[in-house]
Chains A and B, each alone.
Chain A
Amino acid sequence: MRLDYLLAWLLPLLAGSGVCRLLQGDVRVAGRQAALLGSGWIAGVYAAAVVAGLTARADTAHAFAIASPWLAVLAVVTWGGVLLRTRLRTAQLRAAGMHVPMAPLARAAWWLLATAIVVRLLMIGDEAALRPVFPWDAWSAWAVKPKSWMLLGRADPFVSLSDWLSDPAGALRTAATWNYPEWLAWIEIWFASAAGGWNDPLVDVAWCGALASLALAAYGYWRGAGLAALPAIALVYALVSLPLLEAHVALAGYADLWVGVTLGLAVLAWSRWLMFRERGQWLLGVAFAACLPAIKLEGAIWLSVFVAIVALELIPSRWRLRVVAVVAGALAIGLLSGGFSVPVPGLGWVGIAWGKLTIPAMPAFELKWHPVGEATLASLFALPNWHLLWYAFPLVVLWRWRSLQRDPAVRMLGLLVAAQFVLLFVLFFFTTAAAWAEDFTSANRLVLQIVPCVFAFVAALLREPPQASAAR
C-alpha cells in the first residue's frame, strides 16, 4: 500500500479529531475517544474535500500532495489549541456513563458483539475493495466528475447540455448530473490522488470508513449519554447489521450513506447539547448538518428540518407553542393567498402552493394522494432491508413512553424524528415521488438517510437520564 494512501486515511483522522476535540471542550465522559475518532474522521474527510476543492482544481492528479499540508497544519493547530487549553483549565469529569465494571457474562457478550461488528465491516469492506464500481448511479452520476477530473488532471467545469453545446471553446464538460453537489467528488479525488490514480475500489472503500466512523461515534456518544457498555454496543451492532446499510458499503458509490452518516453525527452531537448543554457539541451538530446540502440535494431538506427543530429548542419552552402557532398561521395565510417561496440552502427558492411544491433543481411536485401503502409497508416490514427495525422501533417508543414524557432531550429528539417521518410520508404519499416507493427505488434510500437519527432517538429513550439532564 502506498504511504500516501495510508496518510489519506490518517490525516483526516488527526485534523478532524482535532477540530472535534477543540469544540467538545474538556468534558471527560465515557466513550469520549470513540466519539472523537468517529466524528473526527468524517469531519477530517470533509475538510480534505474542501481544501482539495479549493487548492487542487488545476492539478487534480496531485490533489493529495497539494491539500495534505493544509490538513497537517489544521491537525497541528487544533491539537495545539487542545493542549494549550488543557494546560490552562482543569477537565470537567462527568459521572454519566463513566466506567462501571461489567459482569463476566456481559463482558463476553460485549466482545462477541464487537467482534461481530468488526467482522461485518471487514466483509463488506473486502467486497468494496475488490470490485470495480458497480451500482448504477455510482458510475453514471456520482463518480463521473471525479473520474474525469482525475484522468484529465484538472477540474473542468460541468454545465448543462445546452451550455456544453453552445460553448465555442469546447472547454466545458457535461453530464446528466452536472448540477449535483461536488463534495463527494472531491472526497473521491482525495483518495484517488493519494492512491496514485483513478482506482475504483481504493476510492469506494472510503464508504466502509464512513460506516465504521458512524459506528464508533454512535458508541461513544451513547456511552457518554449514560447508556451502559452492553446496550450501547448492542445498538451499534443493530445499526451496523442493517442489510441495506451494508449493501451501500459493499456496493459503494451512492451518496445516501454519507448523508445518513452526516445527519446521524449532527443529531448525535446535538443530543449531547440537549442532555448536558455542551455548547461545543451544539456547534459541532450544526456544523455537520450544514455539510448536508454539499453532499446531496435532499441534504438541504434534512438541514431545513434539523435547523427548524434546533431553533425551536432554543426558544424558551413557554414560548414554543406560541411560536409554532404563529409559524403555522403564517404558512396557512401564505397558502390561502396563493402560495409563497422560502429559501432553502442548496436548493434555492422552494415554492409552496396549495397542491404544488416547486424545487428549482427538480420537476414540480403535484401534491395529491398516492396509494403506495402496500409497497411502503413491504419495503419496511417484509423485505430484508431493515431486519426487525420497524417492528421494534414503535414498541421501544411505547415501552419507554415515560422516558419520552419525562426527559426534554428525548422529546426533542423524538420531535426531530417525527418531523423526518412526516416529511417522508408527505413525499411518498402526496407527491409524484410515490413512484420511488412503488418501484422500490429511491424510497428505501431516503429512509436509510434518517436511520442513524432513529437509532440516536432509541438510544436516548433507553438511557437512564442522570440528574444533569433534568436541568431543563
Chain B
Amino acid sequence: MRRAAWRYLVCAIALLASWWLLLLWAADAQWSAPFSPQARQDFNGSAFQEVFGHAEARDGQLAVQAASADYSTLQTLSVNVEAADFAILRYHFVDFPRTLELSLVFRTAVAPDDVQTISLPWPGAGTAAFDLSQVPAWHGTIIEIGFAEFATAQLVPPERGFAPFELGHVALWSKSWRGDVAALVTDWFGAWPWSQRSVHALGREGDAPHARSAIVFVALAAVASVGWSMLLLGLRGRAATIAALACAAGAWILLDVRWQVGLGERLMATRALYAGVPWEQRKALVGDSATLRAADEIKTLLREEPGWGRILVNSSSGYSLLRLMWHLQPLNTAALWRADTATHLPDGCLIVFYATDAWYSDPSMRRLLARSERVWPQGALMKSGFEGNDEVIVFRYRHAP
C-alpha cells in the first residue's frame, strides 16, 4: 500500500477511536465496565399489575385498555433488586400514544412510603433506555418499579390524552458500555413534548438528570477531526480551512438533523390532537380544559352582569389564576393575589375564587369578605367537593357599613 493510503487509513482509525472515546465520555461509561451487561433482570409486560386504569395480560404483554377516573394509568411490579447493581432501565411499549407523558415510578426498602417519579421521554416504537445511576433516589434495595402515564401537562386535555397501548418488555441491566451508550442515545434522541421552558431554554425537559451535552460532543468530535486531519494528513493553509469548514458544516447539519427529528416528533404529537379539527372545536382542546369549563360556568353565571362590571380573581396557583383570566375574556378581570392588595375595592365588584380555599382559610380574605354576599354557589355554606380543582366560588363585594 502506498504511503498516502496508509496515512488516510491511520487518520480514519484515529478519527473513529477519538469519536468512540468521546462517545464513552458522553455516556459517562466506566472504563472498567464490560462491553455487555454482566447481570440483567427481564420482565414481561404481563408481569406488571394495573394500579390505576384497566389492563389485561395478553401474549406476554400488558394491554392497557382504559384510564382511571382521573385519566391516568399506572402499572407496577414488586421486585427485589439492588439499585447499585442495576442502573440501566430498558423499556419497550407498543402503540404508546403521543398525547401521553411517561414516568418511571419506584419505591425503595429504605422509604417504602415514598414514591419516586422520574419523567421519561416518549418511548416511541423501539426499546428505550435510561441511566438511573444519576438519580439520587435510586439507591439501596428497590422493592417496586412501575410506569405512570398521564396526558401531557398543559398541552393535552386530560380527557383526550389516553388511547390504548401495550407495555411490552422491561429490563434492568448492570452498567456496561452497551447500556450506557443506549441510555445516551435515548437521552439525545428521545422525543420530549413542548413545555413552558421551550421558549426560554431547550434541553431542560423532564425532571431527571440528563446525559452530557450532544452539542459539546459534536463540537469536540469536529475539533478532533480537524486536528487529526492536520496532524496525520498534513493539511495546511487552504486545505486545512476547507477541512475545518467541512467539519463545522457537517457537525452543524448533524445537530440540526437531530433537532429536526425532535421537531417532527413534536409536530406529530400536535397533529394527533389538532389536525383536521375545526377551530371552533380546536380552541376547546387545551391542557387546562377544567379551567376552561370553570370560565364558561362563570360566564354563564354572570351573563346578566353589566359589561363594565369588575371581577377580581384568586386561585391557588399563578398558572390557574392567569389561565382563568385568559379564558374569562372579554370580562373585565384583574388578579387578586392577596387580600391586602385590594384595600379599596369598588362596592359591588365580584370576587371569584377558583380551585382555592383561601376564601375561608385565609384570615385576611375572610376579613375582606366580611360584608360580601356569596353569589355562587348559593344556599349551601360549603358546597360538596369544594376542594375539587374545578370549584368556583363567587362573592359580590360589599363595603363595611
Interface residues of A (CB under 8 A from B): 120, 123-124, 126-127, 130-132, 134-137, 139-140, 144, 147-148, 151-152, 161-162, 164-166, 169-171, 173-176, 199-202, 234, 238, 241, 243-244, 246-248, 250-251, 254, 379, 381-385, 387-388, 391-392, 395, 399, 440-445
Inter-chain contacts of A248 with B (CB < 8 A): 199
Inter-chain contacts of B204 with A (CB < 8 A): 383, 440
Minimum CB–CB distance from B150 to chain A (whole Å) comes to 18
Decide if B200 touches A383 in the complex (CB within 8 Å): no
Decide if B215 touches A388 in the complex (CB within 8 Å): yes
Given contacts A139-B326, A166-B344, A384-B214, contact A440 B264 (CB under 8 A): no
Decide if B203 touches A251 in the complex (CB within 8 Å): no
Minimum CB–CB distance from A123 to chain B (whole Å) comes to 6
Flag whether B32 is at the interface (Cβ < 8 A).
no
Inter-chain contacts of B234 with A (CB < 8 A): none
Given A165-B334, A382-B203, A392-B252, 6 new contacts (CB under 8 A): A130-B270, A140-B326, A170-B308, A201-B279, A384-B258, A444-B201
Decide if A440 touches B155 in the complex (CB within 8 Å): no
Given contacts A131-B270, A387-B256, contact A445 B200 (CB under 8 A): yes
Which 7 pairs show the lowest CB-CB distances between chains A and B? A151-B330, A170-B308, A382-B213, A440-B201, A383-B203, A130-B274, A140-B322
Decide if B330 touches A152 in the complex (CB within 8 Å): yes
Flag whether B34 is at the interface (Cβ < 8 A).
no
Inter-chain contacts of A384 with B (CB < 8 A): 202-203, 213-215, 255, 258-259
Minimum CB–CB distance from B204 to chain A (whole Å) comes to 6
Bound together, the chains give a CA A382 to CA B334 distance in angstroms of 40
Flag whether B341 is at the interface (Cβ < 8 A).
yes
**Would you list 29 pairs from A and B whose C-beta atoms are within 8 A, ordered by A residue?**
A120-B260, A120-B263, A130-B270, A130-B275, A131-B274, A132-B285, A136-B319, A148-B329, A161-B341, A164-B310, A169-B308, A170-B310, A201-B279, A202-B279, A243-B202, A246-B259, A247-B202, A250-B194, A251-B194, A251-B199, A382-B213, A387-B215, A388-B218, A388-B222, A391-B219, A399-B241, A442-B200, A444-B201, A445-B199
Minimum CB–CB distance from A143 to chain B (whole Å) comes to 8
Minimum CB–CB distance from B159 to chain A (whole Å) comes to 16
Inter-chain contacts of A247 with B (CB < 8 A): 194, 198-199, 202
Decide if A170 touches B332 in the complex (CB within 8 Å): yes
Decide if B200 touches A444 in the complex (CB within 8 Å): yes
Inter-chain contacts of B345 with A (CB < 8 A): 165
Decide if B194 touches A170 in the complex (CB within 8 Å): no
Minimum CB–CB distance from A185 to chain B (whole Å) comes to 13
Bound together, the chains give a CA A254 to CA B197 distance in angstroms of 13
Decide if A250 touches B215 in the complex (CB within 8 Å): no
Minimum CB–CB distance from A176 to chain B (whole Å) comes to 7
Bound together, the chains give a CA A120 to CA B241 distance in angstroms of 29
Report which of A120, A132, A387 forms a contact with B283, defined as CB distance below 8 A: A132
Inter-chain contacts of A152 with B (CB < 8 A): 307, 330
How many A-B pairs have beta carbons closer than 8 Å: the answer is: 162
Chain B binding surface SS class: helix
Q: Which residue of chain A lies nearest to B259 when distances are taken between CB atoms in the complex?
A: A243
Decide if B310 touches A440 in the complex (CB within 8 Å): no
1/0 contact string of B326-345 vs chain A (CB within 8 Å):
10011010110000011011
Bound together, the chains give a CA A200 to CA B308 distance in angstroms of 25
Decide if A132 touches B332 in the complex (CB within 8 Å): no
Given contacts A140-B322, A166-B344, A384-B202, contact A123 B275 (CB under 8 A): no
Inter-chain contacts of B332 with A (CB < 8 A): 170, 173
Given contacts A132-B283, A234-B249, contact A383 B213 (CB under 8 A): yes
Decide if A388 touches B219 in the complex (CB within 8 Å): yes
Flag whether B293 is at the interface (Cβ < 8 A).
no
Minimum CB–CB distance from B302 to chain A (whole Å) comes to 14
Bound together, the chains give a CA A254 to CA B199 distance in angstroms of 8
Minimum CB–CB distance from B368 to chain A (whole Å) comes to 13
Q: Which residue of chain A lies nearest to B308 when distances are taken between CB atoms in the complex?
A: A170
Within 8 A of A (CB), among B190-228: 194, 196-204, 213-216, 218-219, 222
Among B255, B264, B319, the most chain A Cβ lie within 10 Å of the Cβ of: B255
